[in-house]
Structures are given as C-alpha cells and as structure tokens.
Amino acid sequence: MAYAILFGSFTFLMLIGMPIAFCLGIASFATVLYMGLPPVVIFQQLNSGMNVFAMMAIPFFIFAGDLMVRGGIAVRLIRFAAGLVGHMRGGLGQVNVVASTLFGGISGSAVADASAVGGLMIPQMAARGYDRDYAVNVTANAAIIALMIPPSHNMILYSIAAGGNVSVADLFTAGIIPGLLLAAALMFTAWWVAVKRGYPADPFPGFARVGYYLLASVPGILLIAIIFGGVRSGVFTATESSCIAVLYALLVALFVYRELNWEGFVEAVMGAVRTTAMVLLVIGTAASFGWLMAFLQVQTLIIAAIGAISDNPIIVLLMINIILLVLGTFMDMAPMVIISTPILLPVVKAFGIDPVHFGVIMILNAGIGLNTPPVGTVLFVSCAVGGITIREAMKTIWPFFGASLAVLLLVTYIPALSLWLPGVFK
C-alpha cells in the first residue's frame, strides 16, 4: 500500500498540474504518515538533500551565465559562430547550433542557452525569411548540448545523486564527445531541412573577419578552457570553478566589454536567486522522495523485475532508455536525475555498466525530455521566444528529435564515446 500512496499521489498531483516540487513533497509526506514514521524525517531529508557543498556550484554557474548574457559575451560568441558557419546552407540554423555549443560551455544550462541564444537568433532568423518553427526547433534541440559539455549543472546533480562516488571531472570529460556528436547531428539535420525548404546561405565573410570575431570572443571561449582545465587537472573543484566563473564573467563584462550596468547586475543577481530557489526546492523534495524509495527497497524490486525479463546489457539499456524517455515527458530534469539515479544506478552496475557511461546516458535522455511535452521546459521557452505554439513546433520537430535519438543510441551502445576521453586523462 505504501508504494501505491507514494507513486499514486505523486502521479495524481502531477496530472492535475501541481508544481513538481509540491508533488514530491506531498507524496512523501502522505507516505510517511501512512507508514507511521515521524513526519520530521521528511524535513530532515529535505534539508540534507539541499545541504550539500557541491550543490553550491549550481547557483554560481547560473549567475555566471546570466552575467555573460548581459555583459555582451553571448553576442560575440554568436558573431564568431556566424563567421564560421554562416555560409553553409541554412546558415543561421548552423550558427544557432554552433553558438549554443559555445555558450553551453559557459552556462551549463539548457534553459539559459535557449533563452539567451534563442532571444538573439530567432528574431534574426525570422527577419531573414526562415520559418519560425524551424528557428524554434533548431534552438530548442541545440540547447540540450549545454547539458552534455562542461560545466553541466546536471552532471553535478548526477554525481551528488550517485552518492558522490562518481567523479564530476570524469563526467565533464565524458560528455564532451557525445556533446560534439550531438552538435554535428543537429547541424546536419538543420542543413537537410534547410535544403528541403530552400533556405539561403550567406556569403563567407573572409578569414580576416572570422579572425576578428574570434579575437573578440576569446574572453568567453577562454572561460571554457579555465573551467574544464582547472577541474580536470585538480587545481580546483567544480564548486570552486563556479565561483571563478562568476568572478571572471564579472571582470570581463565590466572591464573588457564594458556592457554591464548596475541594473543588469541586479537583474542577474535576482534571476540567479529565483532560479536557485526553484531548483533547490525541487532537489530537496526529490531527496525526500528518493529516501522513501530506498527505505521501501524500490531498487531491489526493479533489479529483480528487469533481471526476470533479460540479463543482456543491450536489452537492459534499451528498457532503461525507454523508461527515461517516458519519464522525461512529464518530469523536469532536476527531479528526474535526483529520483532516477539512486534507483537505476544499482541496476546498471549490477549488469556491469560503467557509472560514468550511464551518467552520460541519463543526462542525454533527460535533455531530450526537455523538448517533449507536456513538461518540455526548453521547448516551452523556445516557443515563447519564437512566438509560436507548442503544437506548431511539434509538427516539424521530428527530424531534430530523430537526430537526438540517433545520438542517444550511439552513446548508449558505444561506451568508448563516453569513456575514451576520461581514460586519456587518467
């Protein structure tokens, strides 16, 4: 009966539209009352879920990304991307993907990526004759590249949800090749759709102009190297690197580009505070929910159920991918990672699958879920920026969705794509 109360109340509350944090908290509280446990245990788990030092990296990376948007770094990265690939067919679509990859290496957030790059690119694409659904779909799908490459917030969440036993440095490194593979797949898809729709290509601006754009964007690109190099070499932790990112972004925005004013700084602070408050509430209630699942030994039941179906790792990974894709349609990324990791990680380890490899699979699955309604946060943001409905976007999103699924299958069944680069740094 406890299982029915925990999962039934959670599902019911989510279906009626209650915010995910309250769904998790109320379901956990109701289950504890039914089981006769002291209710204070829920608040203890909520507090312990949020009171993790490594979690400090998330608000600082959010703040750094916001400072870079308001400080002119995002604009210069887009100009560099335009000079680099704007001459290809459907050039602005290619620019969108490359700019999202570069900005994702700074912000680590798909929502920030969709908002920042989409806010600049979608109006330009519409003004140049691109259909808005194309602009929105390129933006939404390219934004999930930010989840795969350093400094992905959700890689940090996965490490915490795994009990801190999976190295953040290894996860950062493991996501680079899959992230670049996803970027390549989306660029090919953007080109293919552009050819079918007859979109134009801009003239190549010349190597001198590209070099100028590169020079102007070096301060932003340099931060990517600082974050990854520092964490990978052990000079500083992921949390410390987030603080360095904020300080660096502030110095660049104030003294190099000189585009950040007091109003922009206050807005960046308030935006980071609001986002952090929402994320931490979800993480705290998800920790309570996850503790109850561990108490009820849900993981053991799932291992037994999957083992009864098949002990072939290929089939096991296929089933887990399907489960995660379904979960992604109605759960936001943070609670999905926090809840699913303690359940599924013991399962994959029991079948001999590397935790770092599984982390990349988990994050990519959850990223695809951000573009699948009814809870497709990144798609919602992109549609809001593009001024179209979800229905209009969904009619033509399938080529991009197919490209993401193809990359997911490659990453799932070719572990070397995730594990080779971390092995190089051992």
pLDDT of residue 13: 82
Instruction: Cis check for the bond before 355: say yes or no (omega within 30 of 0).
Output: no
What 8-state DSSP symbol labels residue 203? Answer: P
Is 390 in contact with 383 (CB distance < 8 Å)?
Answer: yes
23 CB contacts (<8 Å, ≥6 apart)?
Answer: 10, 13, 14
Q: By CB neighbour count within 10 A (0-12 exposed, 13-18 middle, 19+ buried), where does 210 fall?
A: middle
The total domain count for the chain is 1
d(Cα 63, Cα 280) in Å, to the nearest integer? 15
Rounded to the nearest angstrom, the gap between the alpha carbon of residue 152 and the centroid of all alpha carbons in its chain is 6
CA distances from 383 to 20, 121, 146 (A): 21, 13, 18
Report if residue 261 sits inside a domain. yes
Report if residue 46 sits inside a domain. no
Report if residue 369 sits inside a domain. yes
Host domain of residue 80: 54-279+296-424
Half-sphere exposure of 244 (CA within 13 A, CB side): 18
d(Cα 159, Cα 336) in Å, to the nearest integer? 14
Is 87 in contact with 194 (CB distance < 8 Å)?
Answer: no
Half-sphere exposure of 233 (CA within 13 A, CB side): 8
399 CB contacts (<8 Å, ≥6 apart)?
Answer: 189, 192, 193
| Max CA separation in the chain (angstroms) | 72
Record the pTM: 0.86
Other CB atoms within 10 A of residue 322 CB = 11
Nearest Cα neighbor of 405 from 363, 362, 368, 373 is 368
Report if residue 9 sits inside a domain. no
Q: Which two tokens stand for residue 296?
A: 């009820």
Report if residue 102 sits inside a domain. yes
Q: Which two tokens stand for residue 146?
A: 């930010």
Is 27 in contact with 331 (CB distance < 8 Å)?
Answer: no
pLDDT of residue 426: 67
Report if residue 23 sits inside a domain. no
Nearest Cα neighbor of 373 from 349, 350, 397 is 397
Q: Chunk the chain into consecutive blocks of 10 residues (it has 426) and report each block's average pLDDT, rounded to whole numbers.
A: 81 79 85 84 79 76 79 81 82 86 79 81 85 92 90 86 85 93 94 88 81 85 79 78 85 83 84 78 80 76 76 87 85 82 86 92 92 81 86 90 95 94 83
Report if residue 353 sits inside a domain. yes
Please calculate the CA angle 243-160-281 and round it to the nearest 5 degrees.
80
d(Cα 76, Cα 89) in Å, to the nearest integer? 22
pLDDT of residue 190: 92
Report if residue 291 sits inside a domain. no
CA distances from 145 to 12, 207, 278, 393, 395 (A): 32, 27, 22, 19, 22
Q: Give the dihedral sign, CA 11/12/18/24.
A: negative
pLDDT of residue 11: 80
